[in-house]
Amino acid sequence: MFRRFDFEGLPVLVQEPEPRQPETVSPLVLFLHGSGERGVDGWSALRRGLPEVAGRPEIARIRIAVPQCPPGERWIDWLEPLASLVDVLGSERAVVTGFSMGGRGAWMFALRHPERILRLSPVAAHLPPGTTAEELAHALPSVPIWVIHGRDDERVPVSDADAAVAALAAVGRRPRYTRYEGLAHGATCATAYADGEYLRWLSMP
C-alpha cells in the first residue's frame, strides 16, 4: 500500500515492502510518470506503469517512490528535489525508471546526478533536450541500462532509442534493449512493466 507525503513542492507516493525484514536488502526504485499523470493529488500518478503492478511478487521486496510532477511542468524542472528525495528515503543510489516524459526525466536525472544511479531504464523516451545520443553516451554513469521502446510508437519515435543504444555501444557499453515489434506508445508502457524479467531486473540489490 502506498503512503502519501509532500516533499519540496511535490506530492510523493511511497510503497515499502511487506513484510519488511531487517536483513532484507530493499532497493529504492524511483518511477517517473508520463505527462498524462501530472497533477497535485499524488494518487493519479499511480495510474500507469510500475505503480500498476506494485503488487507483483517479482517486486515484492523493493521500495517504490512515485513523485508527481505538477501540471504544465516537466521533470527537468525538478531534478534537484528528486535527488533530495532519494536522500530523504535513506538511499545513496536508486534504480531510476520512467515512461515517456518520465523516461526522458530518467535520462536527465542520470546526466545531472550520475552518482545517484544504481540502474537506469527509460521507457518510450525522447533523448534529453539539447543533447545528442553521442553526448548522452559519454556522460552517463557506468551502470546497467535497459532501454525499452515500441517500433510503432506514434508519439516518441523509436529512432531516439535506436540512437541512444547505438551510441552507448560505440563507447563500449552494453545496454539491454527491448524493441517491441508492432507496439505503439501506451502499449509499450503496459507491456514493459508487466514483463516479469524486467521487474526482476528492477528489483536486484
Residue 164 maps to which CATH number? 3.40.50.1820
- pLDDT tens figures, 116-168: 999 999 999 999 999 999 999 999 999 999 999 999 999 999 999 999 999 99
Is 17's pLDDT higher than 90? no
Q: Which residue has the cell 545517484?
A: 116
Q: What is the DSSP string of 168-179?
A: HHHTT---EEEE
Is 25's pLDDT higher than 80? no
Average pLDDT, the chain: 96
Q: What is the pTM of this model?
A: 0.97
176 band by pLDDT with thresholds 50, 70 and 90: very high
List, edge to edge, every strand of the sheet that includes 28-32. Answer: 2-7, 10-15, 63-67, 28-32, 94-99, 117-123, 146-150, 176-180
Q: Count the domains in the chain.
A: 1
200 band by pLDDT with thresholds 50, 70 and 90: very high
Domain that holds residue 118: 2-203
26 band by pLDDT with thresholds 50, 70 and 90: confident
